[in-house]
Amino acid sequence: MKGNFTFCNPTRLHFGTDAMSALAKELANFGPTVMLSYGGGSIKRNGIYDQVAAALAAAGKTVVEDGGVMPNPTVEKLREGAAKAKACNADLILAVGGGSTIDYAKAVSVSAWCDEDPWEKYFIRFEEPSCRIVPVGAILTMAGTGSEMNGGSVISNHAAGLKIGKVFGPDVFPKFSILNPEFTFTVPRRHMVAGIFDVMSHILEQYFSGDDDSTSDYIAEGLMRSLVASSRAAVANAQDYEARSNIMWTATWALNTLIAMGKPTDWEVHMLGQAVGAITDATHGMTLSAVSLPYYRHIMPYGLKKFARFAENVWGVASAGRSPEAVAADGLAAFEAWMREIGVAMSISELGATEEMLPKIADATFILTGGYKTLTRDDVLSILRKSL
């Protein structure tokens, strides 16, 4: 471990089939008014809403409803939610849903009492909050983003053609998160596999950076092997509790900042995917899968040692007597075969992107410097064309 770092994660997790029993004790830590944020209504159809509503009523809370959080939360929805949270003087924002809902809740938490435009302050200037922060609690219904135990928040601004993520500090992390793997059983298969790939991408974007033999990399390899095995079981049987619980737990550890310790990290796949999402409004995990192989094949020569290690330690590719180039290429081929096996998007054209859109997507792509090669705009366009 070459880097210097400070690790802090203040989120308290309750995991398992009895996790909801902890909600009453958690609610007792906050004031009387709870803003309940959720998505399009699936939690009402599958019964989770009723469980949450009963717990809130038993705790004597005044509940302000904030439904309709979309899969790619918009800046307009953020402003609406911030105004609502301020008007009701919310003591807690309880986000019930997947990563988008929890991301949105965190953005609202730092925007309700912000005295300037939150889009400009947080998502353009990337500043930290200097105002009162409304605490957030989370009840997770879809595994993927890790938002239940981190400070990340991604907001879309369609007018500007941008989808931007901001990583807030520990003060914005959820105070508590409830993770019952059974709550993920009714997630449609396409969204389940999109979440699975999001988890894989989170691990890869931390793993494919740096050149030391770090503990973080060993943990990442174990997480990836677990994810591959569990994903296959979940695709075969969506109600396989062990598989779904392992996916949920892996998703949390993939992005709760642990495996980033001591690593420069490379988030360029997310920058490419978010740019595709900003223009097409496609499902996040699918935008990542559609650009990953062209990106990793583009940077592989610059991080060859790590790509060969990935092939050996994650996919079991034999290396004896073979060149690192051949081993690394076989690793990416195994990765591609797994992607096709679970059924993620393999091209951005599947998501509605066209050749004519590529310059606009390139313009919306932030270029970062943490990976093995810093891209130029021409590199971005080349990768996008190979992603079509």
Taking the CA atoms of 137, 142, 147 and 153 in sequence, report the sign of the dihedral they define.
negative
The yes-or-no verdict on residue 36 having pLDDT over 90 is yes
Confidence (pLDDT) at 41: 82
Region 110-116 average pLDDT: 97
Q: What is the dihedral of CA 25, 27, 31, 36, to 10 degrees?
A: 180
Region 228-254 average pLDDT: 98
How far, CA to CA in Å, does 91 sit from each of 27, 29, 88, 95, 192?
Answer: 10, 10, 9, 13, 32
Domains and CATH numbers, the chain: 12-183 (3.40.50.1970), 189-387 (1.20.1090.10)
Taking alpha carbons only, the member of 185, 105, 173 closest to residue 141 is 185
Chain centre distance of CA 301: 27
pLDDT tens for 293-323 read 999 999 999 999 999 999 999 999 999 999 9
Confidence (pLDDT) at 116: 95
Confidence (pLDDT) at 144: 96
Confidence (pLDDT) at 31: 98
Q: pTM for the whole thing?
A: 0.96
- Residue 372 pLDDT class (50, 70, 90 cuts): very high
The yes-or-no verdict on residue 20 having pLDDT over 90 is yes
Q: Give the C-alpha separation, 338 to 383, whole Å.
A: 21
pLDDT tens for 261-281 read 999 999 999 999 999 999 999
The yes-or-no verdict on residue 4 having pLDDT over 90 is no
pLDDT tens for 123-177 read 999 999 999 999 999 999 999 999 999 999 999 999 999 999 999 999 999 999 9
